Amino acid sequence: MRVDELIANRTGPLFSVELWPPRSPAAEARLETALGELSRLRVDFASITYGAGGSTREHTHELVVRLRRDYGLLPVAHLVTAAHTREDLEAILERYTSQGIVNLLALRGDPPLESTGTLAPGELAHAIDLARLASEKYSMCVGVAAHPEGHPEAPGFEADMDRLAEKLEVADYAITQFFYTADRYARLRDALAKRGVDKPVLPGIMAPTSLSTLKRMAELSGASIPAGVASRLERYEDDPAGFQAEGTQIAIELCTDLLAMGVEGLHVFTMNQAATTVAIHEAVFGSQAG
């Protein structure tokens, strides 16, 4: 099943999640616990991240295959251009398609630390290049990333929306970076509509787990932390359980606002932790199981 087909044929909003490959035995155990919990929900698809510089290439592939085989989840494989040559990328795409994996999230990503940043002729410099390759040569369903507040490297929001519109001429849908007020999503949706783009854009939802992690991720992604959200979380800076509960509630309130706007679905960044994702699912969809 292709994600674009899921979106087109949905009878209600989709619910999808993002996971990442574990890097240690303890992380592996956490992931297995999370997968057991998530597999009992109505999860329409699960995307699997790709480590910086291609550092989780094999683990990503293994987890993508296992999701479908062992848990009955529809996997979406992340892949980045910055970590690989075109030959590498084609080999990875061949491997996925030979195993029936038809959904890809095409990203630029970060190059390996030893990279000079100089690309040889014919290499893929941008996510749109990978999206075109996966779509045209391998007939994959391709998603791309969207930044509700503009990519941190873009000269401005409007310029970034121009690039996103170009990517969505090739790709089938987009998933946003996290954000915390529905007006950010509305501005992105309106900007695309002005450019004649009507491809689906799924909002990315992240319940904050710690203030330091949130600030670091916001700085890297270009997302802002609204003053109201920050003040709510700062009250629980020394209370991990209270912080998680408040962060989950903030995410639930955002999901409620977005569903009222008619979004096609919700994509939750799980941080490989099931409890918060389960709480969000139950709050917005009830206790419906998969």
Amino acid at site 50: Y
Half-sphere exposure at residue 182, Cβ-oriented, CA atoms within 13 angstroms: 15
Using the structure block, give the residue that is written with the tokens 């959904």: 103
Nearest to 142 by CA among 234, 45, 76, 231: 76
Q: Is 18 a catalytic residue?
A: yes
Residue 15 CB partners (closer than 8 Å, separation 6+): 41, 42, 43, 44, 265, 266, 268, 281, 285
Strand, coil or helix: 148:
coil
Structure tokens at 41: 């929900």
Residue 79 CB partners (closer than 8 Å, separation 6+): 50, 89, 92, 93, 104, 105, 106, 107, 130, 134
Please state, in angstroms and rounded to a whole number, the distance separating the CA atoms of residues 145 and 134.
15
Residue 229 CB partners (closer than 8 Å, separation 6+): 180, 208, 250
Kindly list the distances between the CA atom of residue 76 and the CA atoms of 60, 96, 179, 214, in Å, as whole numbers in the listed order. Answer: 10, 10, 22, 25
Please state, in angstroms and rounded to a whole number, the distance separating the CA atoms of residues 39 and 201.
24
Strand, coil or helix: 170:
helix
Number of other CB atoms surrounding residue 209 within 10 Å: 17
Active-site residue identified among 5, 18, 219, 246: 18
Strand, coil or helix: 223:
coil
Catalytic residue numbers read 18
